[in-house]
Amino acid sequence: MKIDLIIAGGDVYTPERIISPGMVAISGDKIAFCRKMGRMDNVPCIDASGKIPGKFQGQPLNSKYSFTGAEE
pLDDT at position 24: 54
Number of neighbouring beta carbons within 10 Å of residue 7: 20
| pLDDT at residue 57 in the model | 42
Residues 6+ apart with CB under 8 A from 66: 5, 6, 8
- Of 71 and 22, more confident: 22
Domain ranges in the chain are 2-71
The pLDDT tens digits for 2-53 are: 434 444 444 454 445 555 545 555 544 444 444 343 333 444 444 445 554 4
Cα(17)–Cα(5) distance, integer angstroms:
15
> What mean pLDDT do residues 45-65 have?
45
Torsion of Cα atoms, 61 then 64 then 68 then 72, to 10°: -60
pLDDT surpasses 50 at 1: no
| Closest to 52 measured CA to CA, from 28, 37, 32 | 32
